[in-house]
Amino acid sequence: MHQPKLTDPVLIIEDDRNTAALIATYLEREGFATQILHDGAEALALARRQSPGFVILDIMLPEVDGWEICRELRKLSDVPILMLTAREEEIDRVLGLSLGADDYVVKPFSPRELVERVKAILRRTSRRVEPVHELRHAGLVLDIDKRRVSLDGQAVELTAVEYKLLQALMSAPGKALSRDNLLNHIYQRGEAVVDRVIDVHIGHLRQKLADDAVEPRYIETVRGFGYRFADREQP
- Residue spans of the domains in the chain: they are 10-124, 134-229
User: For the residues 9-32, what does the mean pLDDT come to?
Assistant: 89
CATH of domain 10-124: 3.40.50.2300
Question: Domain 134-229 class?
Answer: mainly alpha
Task: Give the confidence band of 203 by pLDDT, cuts at 50, 70, 90.
Answer: very high
* Percent over 70 (pLDDT), the chain: 83
Least confident of 34-38, 43-47, 186-190: 186-190
Q: Is 93 left (phi over 0), alpha (psi -120 to 50) or beta?
A: alpha
**Distances in whole angstroms, Cα of residue 203 to Cα of each of 36, 188, 206:** 24, 21, 5
Burial profile 189-205: b = 16 or more Cβ within 10 angstroms, e = fewer: eeeeeeeebbeebbeeb
